[in-house]
Amino acid sequence: MTDSERGGRLGEEFFTPGTSSFTEFLAAHRPALLPTRRPFPDGVRAAPDAFPHGTTVLALAYRDGVLIAGDRRATMGNLIAQRDLEKVHPADDYTAVAFAGTVGLALDMVKLYQVELKHFEKIEGIPMTLNAKARRLAGMIRQNLGQAMQGLAVVPLLTGYDHTAPDGEKGRIFSFDVAGGLYEKTDFHAEGSGSPYARGALKKLFHRGMSRREAALSALQALYDAADDDSATGGPDINRRIFPIVSVITEDGFERLPEPETEELTREMVEHRRSSPDGPTATP
């Protein structure tokens, strides 16, 4: 019997002690609400250009924590499906997640992950550790494996500020594969179709102890390089005033850089590219 059939009253399962995982609760009582259910019969794959896909996201550690950023383009084959997609989202006060892959499923997974972390904290009375948050997201991706094998993959990038880590190592970065494999990355990482070019740019620009401004400019340079070589990655759209999303996580929590700040840094970077189209050289 559904809640509406009971006259709006919650079912007994809502008052029975059980798991602190909201995903496991849904799987047991409302599996149809999970975004990980397979949409097609066995043997059927989604056409590669039938659903919007998000592309390049990246993260890098810096002096005060960790920065996470993403371009704004979603594509369907050779079509631009959306120019202002938001691929970077706070998961809680000290954790953020960005995604590449099938947009609709990714957005649902991000929302479910946000509820998962909040549900755990309410049930247990304490927040998850950052390692536990990474493992929990890996489990959710593993549940999506059936959809990934049908061509609807989601590949997130997780960042967080770890208060328990030594100084200089509090900003942490985790990547995943479509089967839920979990990998912690050192210094920087990128995911999506433009990620090889973004990682190449970060390799020459990254250095330990970067300021927030240096980290943000490096992220913008890396996304610009990705857009320069990958048609699915969108560069800054000056005319429409659509700029990459850049967010940081420090001891003060998650903060999305204000748009005026991102615009100023983007315009500075684009102006520099007029005289140096290939971007800055590697630091000695």
Give pLDDT tens digits for 192-220: 999 999 999 999 999 999 999 999 999 99
Known catalytic residue: 55?
yes
Q: How many CB atoms lie within 10 A of CB 45?
A: 11
> In the structure encoding, which two tokens stand for residue 111, read together?
């929302």
Which residues have a Cβ under 8 Å from the Cβ of 58 and sit 6 or more positions away? 68, 69, 70, 157, 188, 189, 190, 191, 195, 198, 199, 202, 219, 222, 223
Distance CA 154, CA 147 (A): 9
pTM of the prediction? 0.85
Catalytic-role residue among 23, 36, 55, 102: 55
Confidence of residue 168 (pLDDT cuts 50, 70, 90): confident
Interatomic CA distance for residues 42 and 31, integer angstroms: 19
Half-sphere exposure of 115 (CA within 13 A, CB side): 13
The span from the CA of 23 to the CA of 10, in Å, is: 18
For 90-141, how does the pLDDT look when each residue is reduced to its tens digit (9 = 90+)?
999 999 999 999 999 899 999 999 999 998 998 889 999 999 999 999 998 9
